[in-house]
Structure 1
């Protein structure tokens, strides 16, 4: 992979991370689910999820029970090959409470990405809770 191809891949993966947040916040469940490969693995709050059906069920429950905003930043991407990469993204999670946004947490996603015919997709997403400590 030359430098231009690397930059293009990194940009596409950063867009994937942004789409994850936007599709969640906008309750675009089908589009959100398609950001993952069929047999993707995710771990959220210690709950392991395997495959698109489990992911769809989980995100439907999350988005139907609360209004969220994901503010993503600190996205790092390391290309392992032309079709595989890994990275991480820090997040500020906002929760709507009585008409205002409150900070609900500041976790980190640790990701593994694969390139498919449809573009870069999540193969694995691990949500690491990072509580504030005194």
Structure 2
């Protein structure tokens, strides 16, 4: 793999992190779920050991949430390219809601390249405070 290819993968995966935050804040749940591989899984920052598995189940989980206004700010995104079809990543997250203090946490991600492009194979959130 060339340096240019590696940087392209890093950029594609970092874009997923940002797109996830923006689509989540917009309440575009079908688009959020589509960022996952069909067999992808997620664990929310408030329940990092409780996995929701499969794109359909992820969509259902988002649809079941009460409506709220949020703004996710993601930074310190570091992507490690493992191969031309796999990568991992970590990012810091700051969540603002209309109620309560902001939440600070992180995401640990596994990315896979499928026919449709790069997607989350796994997205695990955790809260620091």
TM-score (structure 1 length as normaliser): 0.88
Bigger relative contact order (CA 8 A; separation at least 6): 2
- Alignment partner, residue 7 of structure 2: 7
Bigger Rg, which one: 1
Q: Distance in 2 between matches of 1:25 and 1:13?
A: 19
CA RMSD across the alignment: 1.3
5+ unaligned residues in a row in structure 1: which ranges? none
- Alignment partner, residue 112 of structure 1: 110
Q: Distance in 2 between matches of 1:103 and 1:124?
A: 27
- Alignment partner, residue 54 of structure 1: 57
Report SS of the residue matched to 1:107: strand
5+ unaligned residues in a row in structure 2: which ranges? none
> For the Cα contact (< 8 Å) 1:22–1:70, is it kept in 2?
yes
